[in-house]
Amino acid sequence: METHELISAVQALEPAAVPREKVDRAAVVAPVERFLELMARLRDEPDLRFDMLCTHTAIDWIAEARLELVYCLYSTVHRHYLVVSASVPREAAVMPSMQALWPIAEWQEREVYDLFGVRYTGHPDLRRILLDDDWQGFPLRKDYRDDFMLEGPK
Amino acid sequence: MSAIVTTLEQRIGRGATTQEFFVNMGPQHPSTHGVLRLVLKLEGETVKDVIPVLGYVHRGVEKMGEHLSYRQFVHLTDRLDYLSALANNWAVAKAVEKAAGIETNERIETIRTLVAELQRIASHQLWWGVFGMDLGAFTPFLYGFRDRERITDILEETIGARLTMNYIQPGGVMFDLHPDFQRKVKEFIAYFRPKLEEYETLLSRNIIAQERMRGVGVLEAAQAVALGATGPVLRASGVAHDLRKSEPYGVYGKVEFDVPVGARGDCWDRYWVRIEEIRQSLRIIEQLIENIPEGKHLLVKPAVRTKVPEGITYSQVETARGVFGVLLVSDGKDVPYRIHVRTPNFNNLWAITRIAPGWRVADLVTMISSLDIVVPDIDR
Amino acid sequence: MGLITEKLPALVEPVPGGSVLLSSLDAVINWARSNSLWPLTFGTSCCAIEVMMAAGAARHDLARFGAEVTRPSPRQADLLVVAGTIVRKMAPRLKLLYEQMAEPRYVIATGSCAISGGPFIYNNYSTVRGADEIIPVDVYVPGCPPRPEAFFYGILMLQKLIREGESLRTPGVRRKPVLAALPAGITIEQIQQELRELLEPQGGRR
């Protein structure tokens, strides 16, 4: 499907979804409230069939005090991509887990929790994945500081 | 005077059962290919559950990327999946070129394709050797490395490095091809084709190796897709997803090659797919090596700090292990606002939690090896 | 077997029916030790491919230096080759591995990550800046990653170090670590000076 077709297909499923500007492929921003339902339908609709969660990560927009959670979906059936994103507040970052839809989300979400501190509801095993369990802070947040890090030479 | 003959079972006691217990495999273990740690739940020698524990070589590459220019970030991708360094470089170059609108020419794309395919062969040779070693045969290791050194020599002549290349950069490649490149690659192909037959005789047709691979660790297609597995792991399960075919980059659109696909998704299929991929890579190189187009090899100034317009770009390439993607978030400066790398091994690794339960520990080693894991690529 | 790079320091006296070899026990033990190093298989990242695998494989053949018997258990090994980046999560494990090895034990740090943190020094929350922050290191082999030949040079340096040491009576005593990179007589200042001359045009700034 072409980019505009994909976006209108998503908007047919979720009227509140808006296209995300300045992305090199089809991208939408969806509200957090009905996110899980939307993702479930994106996976199961016969025209869309996004059966692979390519990658999931977060972007820390510190100036706007929000974390943008990015899901990159791919369909091995129709061979099209879709980037779905949602914004959660930095201080209370809570998101429904996609683990029931794509099993790989279990570990991708653990990584986002580990590095950004997003808490996923309905996640079976939310632990740190890359860092030690007793690590303080979330290193990929823009305001992360610790005694160990060195500033680069200017 | 009748002696009562007992059995071992009677001596132990008929109702004796084994207990479930946990064993740590790694982080320092010769079969985990680096510092991967697997917590195994065992009953006797049977694996009940596998819990991978990551992060023993988590180097925080994504955080560093927020402080480095795009050209400087390229060399960090070398050190993720160091066996596919050139493909990783290419992913960053592709993302920056797409985002900043940098054009390349035919020569650059041909060189990139050639060196990436050479390294794919080298990577599969190394995997083949190590796979043999994990099965308990030392000879494949020596054979694999013997032939890999030839490719390393060819690449070193042009690039100047054996492993961490830092060669493909946004807007071109670092150095032009060495004058001997074409001749040596042709020599290599002539040398290696019969050697590949030797590989088959030595390991593929070995009945012990076959018995240890066939039917072991079956990953079904639906599982593989849901786990986001890519590369030979996905293709062995029967899904013909290869970026070189489905969305051609470089000059892959102009060459003929097949995508080998497995039938069952067991260790044997993963083995066979990789061996077949070596053949296909040789085919690609043969088609390209005769006529490398003329032109410049670098269209930007070598150390330029490229400014990338605001927005998100996601670009991916097919490395020897699967899809390597770069998600580039720019706010208009010459340093990325955020850079995320989607590595093939991170997703492929979790297949082990699905395929290992029910098998013995010795088979687990075969399965890990058949997934062809590079640990720094998982941990980043 | 191994290629014996230096002869055993001994006096050979021909006597009727053969020869008598006179040497000190220290020299004999050190000579034997230096020619049969058993490395631990410990590779964390890229360096492992070069210094553990390529070095041990067909072309380069580590066996020529008597160090090909890689052991998966630290109890049976006496050489720890730190091949790759050490991160904060791995650091306690590295120390544990080192402490599990029996004396005398030797450490070679290969590659810039194990020497100083290499490319992962700045703006990094995770990478330890050099293996020597955790365990004592005997020989540093620079490179990113070092070629197998560079690693062999490091092994030869270590063998020399062992032969010069007094490891029979005081096996745990550490000598000053060495850098297996530059031939004797060349200092880092000289290299910096050369680089400066190369990079800056004559009579340039400064």
Q: Domain span at residue B14?
A: 8-50
Which residue is closest to C89 within chain A, CA to CA? Answer: A132
* B275 and B296, same domain (yes or no): yes
For residue C179, pLDDT beyond 70: no
Q: Judge whether B1 lies within some domain.
A: no
Query: Of A79, A125, A96, which Cα lies nearest the Cα of A38?
Result: A96
Subunits close to A (at least 3 CB pairs below 8 A): B, C
Residue C80 placed within a domain: yes
Contact flag C93-B163 (C-beta cutoff 8 Å)? no
Contact C125 A149 (CB under 8 A): yes
Min distance A154 CA to chain B CA atoms (Å): 11
Helix (H, G, I), strand (E, B) or coil at C88: coil
Kind plus residue range of the DSSP H or E element containing A84: strand A81-89
Does B103 share its domain with B155?
yes
Same domain, yes or no: B21 and B71: no
Three-state secondary-structure class, residue A68? strand
Distance, CA of B122 to CA of B161 (rounded, Å): 14
**Helix intervals (H) in chain A:** 3-13, 35-44, 105-116
Contact list, C54 vs chain B (CB under 8 Å):
145, 148-149, 152, 162
Token reading at B340 = 């995320």
Among the partner-chain residues B54, B247, B323, the one whose CB lies closest to the CB of A130 is B54
Are B24 and B134 in the same domain? no
CATH number reported for the structural domain that contains residue B201 in this entry:
1.10.645.10
The pLDDT of residue C204 is above 50 = no
On whether the CB atoms of residues B172 and B297 are closer than 8 A, the answer is yes
CA dist B142 and B146 (Å) reads: 6
Whether B307 is covered by a domain: the verdict is yes
pLDDT digits (tens, 9 = 90+) for C134-149: 888 888 888 888 888 8
Q: How many domains does chain B have?
A: 2
Q: Is residue B60 part of a domain?
A: yes
Q: Helix or strand or coil: residue B6?
A: coil
Exposure pattern of B172-188 as b/e (b: 16+ CB <10 Å)?
A: bbbeebbeebeebbeeb
Residues B38 and B149 in one domain: no
Question: What whole-number percentage of chain B has pLDDT above 90?
Answer: 16
Task: Give the separation between CA B243 and CA B280, rounded to whole angstroms.
Answer: 14
- Nearest by CB to residue B141, choosing from C41, C57, C93, is C57
Which domains, ranges and CATH numbers included, belong to chain A? 3-91 (3.30.460.80)
Question: Domain check: are B78 and B203 in the same one?
Answer: yes
Q: What is the interface pTM, i.e. ipTM, of the complex? A: 0.87
Among residues B13, A147, B47, the alpha carbon closest in space to that of C88 is found at: A147
Domain membership of residue C33 (yes or no) is: yes
Give residue C88's identity as a one-letter amino acid code: R
> Buried b vs exposed e over B242-280: b needs ≥16 C-beta within 10 Å?
bbbeeeebbbbeebebebbbbebbbbbbbbbbbbbbbeb
Burial track C178-189 (b if 16+ CB lie within 10 A, e otherwise): eebbeeeeeeee
B274 shares its domain with B169: yes
C204 in a structural domain: no
Are A107 and A93 in contact by the 8 Å Cβ rule? The answer is no
B2 domain residue, yes or no: no
Q: From residue B234, how far is each of A42, B59, B84, B87, C19 by CA, in Å?
A: 22, 27, 18, 18, 68
Of A153, A152, A146, whose CA–CA distance to A132 is shortest? Answer: A146
Whether residue B96 is found in the same domain as residue B41: no
Query: Which chain C residue shows the shortest CA-CA distance from A149?
Result: C125
Contact C88 A148 (CB under 8 A): yes
- Partners of C20 in beta bridges: C13
CA distances from B203 to A145, B121, B140, B178, B191 (A): 52, 17, 8, 35, 19
Which residue positions in chain A have pLDDT lower than 50?
none
- Cβ–Cβ gap B347/A152 under 8 Å: no
Residue C146's domain spans which residues?
Answer: 11-199
Task: Return phi, psi of residue A111, to 5°.
Answer: -65, -45
Are B313 and A24 in contact (CB < 8 Å)? Answer: yes
Distance CA B322, CA B88 (A): 11
In chain A, residues with a C-beta closer than 8 Å to the C-beta of B309 are: 22
Of A132, A146, A150, the CB nearest to C122: A150
pLDDT at residue C185 in the model:
64
Angle A82-A87-A106 (CA atoms, 0-180°, nearest 5)? 65
Band of the pLDDT at B2, cuts 50, 70, 90?
Answer: low
**Exposed, middle or buried by CB within 10 Å (0-12, 13-18, 19+), for C27?**
middle
Say whether pLDDT at B144 is over 60: yes
CATH code assigned at C49: 3.40.50.12280
| C chain contacts of residue A148, beta-carbon cutoff 8 Å | 88, 125
Task: Give B92-136 as a DSSP string.
Answer: HHHHHHHHHT----HHHHHHHHHHHHHHHHHHHHHHHHHHHHHTT
Cβ within 8 Å of C, A 102-131: 130-131
Task: Measure A149 CA to nearest chain C CA, in Å.
Answer: 5
Residue C84 covered by a domain: yes
Total tally of structural domains belonging to chain C = 1
Which residue type, as a one-letter code, is found at position A46?
A: P
**Span B342-369, average pLDDT:** 89
pLDDT digits (tens, 9 = 90+) for B286-321: 988 888 888 888 887 766 678 888 888 998 899 998
**Residue B71 maps to a domain:** yes
The mean pLDDT of chain B is 87
Same-domain status, B94 and B160: yes
> CA B200 → CA B207, B281, C129, distances in Å?
12, 17, 44
Predicted local distance difference test score (pLDDT) of residue C5? 47
B202 and B323 assigned to the same domain: yes
Distance from C7 to chain B by nearest Cα, in Å?
A: 30
Token pair 């670590």: residue: C177
Q: Is the dihedral of CA B273, B279, B285, B286 positive or negative?
A: negative
A27 shares contact with chain B (CB less than 8 Å): yes
